[in-house]
Structure 1
Amino acid sequence: MGDRTHRAENFNVLARDGPLQFLNMVVVRAAARGMVGLVLGAVMAVVELPWALLAVPLRALPPTRLWSVRVTRMLAEADRVRVNRCLGGAIAVGPAGGRASAYVALRGLLGGLGGAVLMLVGVWVVLSWRALSGASGERAEMSWHDPLTWTAFVVLVVFLAAQALMGLAALERRLAVWGLAPSDKEVLRSRVDQLSRTRAEVLEAVDDERRRIERDLHDGVQQRLVALGMLLGRADRAADRDAAASLFRQAQEESRRALEELREVAWRIYPAALDDGGLPVALESLAESSGLPILLDYDVPVRLGPAQETVAYFVICEAVTNALKHSRARRVEVEVRRSDGRLLVRVSDDGVGGARADGRGLSGLARRVAAHDGRFELDSPAGGPTALRVELPCA
């Protein structure tokens, strides 16, 4: 949300004041954030350098080892936030493994170097101001070439100071990447763990789906077929022609209901409309057959892949079913959009809320979404409303 706000402000300045003013604003803001980040780094070095020396004996003692590690990681995490917000870093995870201790020690040295550079710049500014303003008590008479000399000197010092500060900021970012970001091996290990966990969850979701289909067939279609067989048997044994005709009519009605329930079971397994017309046609069929008014907002200009369409459909179908059975909702809103290579699905209702992500139906959906590297979020406070949000990658 903050990035969107900054982009909107930048666009407003660009449209109002022109490219030059926009460029000045961006440069000034970046320079101000970088200066704040370096100053904070110099201040933190006052704590990090002594702690790097103190943490060595503390880690050697079992009673204080855990406490020492926690404090070290807290310092490293504070540095990560500072580098990301002020120095243009993009480190999304916290301090990894045992590199946090080495990082804090090296960061303390680098922060001390940054503090020394900032101090030299400050001293030069003060001395130059005193010399030019005569604050030292004596002001020598200036020759005609002195302004040129001072101008050249100021430009040179400003250039050197800017280069030193930008170099420090670049070193801060590189050190943060080394000490805080996970290595390639750690990223690979995390990915393997995630895939193993997702595979187990998908297998569990498939087993749950099989059991649900078995219950639907056993409790619904099978009972209808048993009743149909009994009606046909009674009609065959009936001596009265009118009674037999009535039983045959009941059997026809029972067969019609059995076919409807069988279609519903097949539709819940995989709706044929997804193959025929894609996700929008399947959602329109769902809205027509639902017992709730569904406000559908579908804004995806291209045909999605089969995997994305299937996951999105079942997410929406399960959310609508929950709103109909449990939420006592009067209306359901479904929004499907595509943005930045992601499929965004949002289903909300005006019911009583109280839905739980660990429920039988929603937990299976969450596992299915996770299997496609998606995000699953449920907001359903007691009293409502309920909002289900899903993001799926769709290149």
Structure 2
Amino acid sequence: MQGEPGGTASWPRRGVGTLVGCATALLGALHFLVAGAALGPFLLRPRTRAAALRILMAGARRLAGLERLRRSAFFGDRFPGRYQASDRKILRYLAVRAATGLLCAVVIGLLVFGAVLAGLLVHGAVRGTLGRYELLGQVLLGGVLLFLDVQGLYSLAALDARTARECFGPSERELLRRRIDELAASRAAVVEAVDAERRRIERDLHDGVQQRLVALAMLIGRARRGRDPGQSDALLLQAHEESQGVLTELREVAWRVYPSALDGLGLEEALGGVAERCAIPLRTRFEVGAPLPRPVETAAYFVVSESVTNAAKHSSASAISVAVVLDGERLTVRVEDDGTGGADATGGGLTGLRSRVAALDGVLHIHSPLGGPTTVTAELPCA
């Protein structure tokens, strides 16, 4: 998580942290002066530059670690644990810290000096050695200088926090670049998933519905050509049964394209339809107390439908449980079966689900060890 300046620290604690920062800034400045002067000739020579840079960075990383510890201890900042800043970023941070820390020490010194002058002013006013207009002028001048001093401290503290975030965590530019990469990847994955879904629908229509319609046409044709009324009646009865099967399969294909119950009845009723069509006993727990965005409802439905279909076809499961729970602004969909496990997370169906969930900034977890059970969990933001 990216650090947030002073999120949980009290003002006295932050004040101590600022004073400690002045001391660490002095250490950073001394490191640049001493190490830079000693290693400067070696940094200029190509043959010795790498070794000299390693020595310089060894001390710089220790100082950066000290600054990170200071920000965490006195300001309550939290930074990504595994984030590794580049050498250039660390050197730039320490250079900025040395300058701002020393400047902060000067501002604090001026503040202390102003406090001493204010004490002398009060003492003079009590003894009556200061005139009324002189006292008023000194108070106005001191107030302006105090305001500028405090504003300077506030600005330096904000700069310290911002440079720490940029060094010890991803900067805003890095976060934006990552977000762009994630959106590009999710868009490509969604396009691929949609193409795969279209191919599967075409395959279902061609290999299933179309073949059964051809068989139905052949039965009706044989019945029309038949001379035996009994045989024709039997063929028509068989054709009628085949037409019922075609309607059922066509309805299944339509539900896989988009469940119309989502529009009219909502997610809970649509999941009830999945339970009715499932050949395995399915237990559903639905705890959603607020309306859901339509894309979230659609993604949740397909997560349940695809997971239940995979369990019924491949897992040899005897029971399936589905839980849909809304917690704040996050919808959690959990599908678990007691089958043999070993589900391939890279398969076409689960990959399509992962892309569909990722398109909504959600996360899909698949846990399916050999021997089972298989658990598919989707976390979908609803904000």
TM-score, length of structure 2 as denominator length:
0.68
- Determine helix, strand or coil for the equivalent of 1:253: helix
Change (3 A) 1:359 1:60: farther
Letter in 1 for 2:200: R
Q: How many residues align?
A: 320
Q: Distance in 1 between matches of 2:267 and 2:63?
A: 47
Pair 1:100-2:89 in alignment:
yes
- Could you tell me whether the CA contact under 8 Å between 1:58 and 1:64 is conserved in 2? no
Pair 1:185-2:173 in alignment:
yes
Question: Once superposed, what is the RMSD of the aligned Cα atoms?
Answer: 4.5
- Of the candidates 251, 255, 272, which is equivalent to residue 243 of structure 2? 255
Higher relative contact order at CA 8 Å, sep ≥6: structure 1 or structure 2? 2
- Could you tell me whether the CA contact under 8 Å between 1:327 and 1:351 is conserved in 2? yes
- Determine helix, strand or coil for the equivalent of 2:77: coil
- Determine helix, strand or coil for the equivalent of 1:323: helix
Counterpart in the other structure of 1:291? 279
- Could you tell me whether the CA contact under 8 Å between 1:323 and 1:349 is conserved in 2? yes
Change (3 A) 1:50 1:298: farther
Counterpart in the other structure of 2:193? 205
Q: Distance in 2 between matches of 1:42 and 1:329?
A: 67
Q: Distance in 2 between matches of 1:66 and 1:213?
A: 60
Q: CA deviation at 1:303?
A: 2.0
Q: Distance in 1 between matches of 2:210 and 2:258?
A: 20
Q: Distance in 2 between matches of 1:77 and 1:381?
A: 43
TM-score, length of structure 1 as denominator length:
0.66
Any gaps of 5 or more consecutive residues in structure 2? 1-9, 103-154
Change (3 A) 1:204 1:106: same
- Determine helix, strand or coil for the equivalent of 1:287: helix
Q: Distance in 1 between matches of 2:273 and 2:286?
A: 14
Q: Distance in 2 between matches of 1:327 and 1:29?
A: 58
- Could you tell me whether the CA contact under 8 Å between 1:59 and 1:68 is conserved in 2? no
Q: CA deviation at 1:271?
A: 0.8
Change (3 A) 1:198 1:355: same
Q: Which deviates more, 55-64 or 183-192?
A: 55-64
- Of the candidates 246, 257, 267, which is equivalent to residue 234 of structure 2? 246
- Of the candidates 341, 355, 360, which is equivalent to residue 329 of structure 2? 341
- Could you tell me whether the CA contact under 8 Å between 2:223 and 2:236 is conserved in 1? yes
Change (3 A) 1:79 1:303: farther
Q: Distance in 2 between matches of 1:78 and 1:94?
A: 12
Taking the TM superposition and a 5 Å limit, the aligned residue runs for 1:47-126 are 82=69, 86=73, 87-92=75-80, 94-95=83-84, 99-102=88-91, 105-106=94-95
Q: Distance in 2 between matches of 1:77 and 1:331?
A: 55
Q: CA deviation at 1:250?
A: 0.6
Q: Distance in 1 between matches of 2:218 and 2:78?
A: 70
- Could you tell me whether the CA contact under 8 Å between 1:235 and 1:247 is conserved in 2? yes
Q: CA deviation at 1:100?
A: 2.9
Q: Distance in 2 between matches of 1:213 and 1:355?
A: 22
Change (3 A) 1:180 1:280: same
Change (3 A) 1:183 1:81: closer
Counterpart in the other structure of 1:141? none
- Determine helix, strand or coil for the equivalent of 2:344: coil
Counterpart in the other structure of 1:264? 252
Any gaps of 5 or more consecutive residues in structure 1? 1-25, 114-166
Q: Deviations over 1:158-215 (max 9, x none)?
A: xxxxxxxxx9998864442132333333332222222111111111001000000001
Pair 1:234-2:222 in alignment:
yes
Change (3 A) 1:392 1:51: farther
